[in-house]
Amino acid sequence: MRRLYDKYVLQMWLLTKRDVKECNELAEQTSSKTGKMYFRGLKMQSMMFLLVYFFPLVWLMFAWIVGFPLLILEEGFVMALVLLSISTIMMLLFVTIVRAGRIHLYSKVKQNVIDKYID
């Protein structure tokens, strides 16, 4: 459980914190207003990834803690387990896709902006 927490929660939090700091420093280094705008935009995009990434994880915790007992009362144990398992698989798939996009695509976009606006 600790390894999953480190991989999915802590790593994304630290990566976002580092990227925000790095984008601020890069915005100060560039001399063009367009470059400053791009780096500030990358900083905001990094923060938005964090929201999109953590919302499904919080929703899953809420669904299992609150929703599971309520579904047991309404639908029965087996149906509640099936419904929450399907939604959990879908949310974890979404989180994995967002994480992959954040790690691979965002870094390429940031590198392209750095190459273009930093001397």
Question: What pLDDT is attached to residue 29?
Answer: 92
Tokens of 58: 């919080």
Q: Where are the domains of the chain?
A: 2-117
* pLDDT the model gives residue 54: 85
- Could you give the CA distance from residue 78 to residue 76 in angstroms, rounded to a whole number? 6
Rounded to the nearest 5°, which phi and psi values hold at 72? Answer: -60, -45
Q: What is the mean pLDDT of the chain?
A: 88
Q: How far apart are CA 60 and CA 114, in angstroms?
A: 37
Q: Is residue 4 predicted with pLDDT exceeding 80?
A: no
Render pLDDT for 50-89 as a digit per residue (tens, 0 to 9): 888 888 888 888 888 998 898 899 889 999 999 899 999 9
- Residue 57: closest CA among 25, 22, 87, 78: 87
- Assign 7 a pLDDT band (cuts: 50, 70, 90): confident
In whole angstroms, what is the distance from residue 96 CA to residue 24 CA? 27
